[in-house]
Every structure is written in structure tokens, then in C-alpha cells.
Amino acid sequence: MYSSYPHIARSFHLKELTVLCNDWEQSGKLLSGKIRYQKERDFQSREIAFRLLTEELDDNGFPKLQLDWGFETCVYDLSNCIENAAPVIDGESTAELIEAFGIAVIHTTSEMAMFNRQQTTHIQQPLGMLS
């Protein structure tokens, strides 16, 4: 399954943002695949592997996001990346990029749970607190 998020892409100055799911555990606790994105100034899309880590939630109830940049694999605390500056990758700050990826991946998890009629309360409850 893949989900495209042009509205999220525009909000974070991207031309493209797509989540391609390779693995989905029916309990909604595992989601992995690839994220395809293109920055506004880039001529072609990039693709990175991801895994949503829901075993251990942060203080705000968000899962962690593991990203394989090709040359380095990093695990990001989504709340921390949003509140503080994220590490620099390829000479650029990644905070906005990781926030966009996190929103898209969590939205995809909820979308897949809806289609499979599975509850993902471990993710939905913290997101409900944001509204």
C-alpha cells in the first residue's frame, strides 16, 4: 500500500511525500517501508527506509521513527525532533523533514488500521490530545 500526501508536502516545502508500506502487523504495532520525498530545489525524488517503533513511546505518547538514510540509520523521538533541533544530515537540518515523515507515517498507520478495522489506540490517543 502507498499513500501520497501532497498537503503535508506543501506545508513542509516538499514537492512530493509518499509512504510505501512493506510490512504491517495486524495489531497496528509495526509499520515499515519506504518514504519517497522530493525537496523543492531537488530535481529528483529520494527514497529512504523507515520503521515505526511503537514498543516504547516517548513522554508525549508518540512512537519513535527509525530512518535509514543509506549512509546512517537513526532513531528519532518525534516529540523531541519537533520541540528541539534535529541532527544535521547531508549538511542540512532535518527537523522539518522528520516532522513531515512522522506525520505521514502515523497517518498511514491510522489509515491502514481503518481499512483493516484494527484499533491503534497506542497511536490515536496521543494524536487526539493535539487537537
pLDDT surpasses 90 at 126: no
Q: How many domains does the structure of the chain reveal?
A: 1
Q: Tell me the pTM.
A: 0.76
Which among 23, 9, 21, 27 has a CA at the least distance from the CA of 105?
Answer: 21
pLDDT, tens digit (0-9, with 9 covering 90-100), for 28-71: 556 889 999 999 999 999 999 999 888 778 778 888 899 998 88
What does 76-122 look like in DSSP terms, one character per residue? EEHHHHHHSPPPEETTEE-HHHHHHHHHHHHHHHHHHHHHHT---HH
Res 28: pLDDT: 53
Which residues constitute the domain of residue 22?
2-128
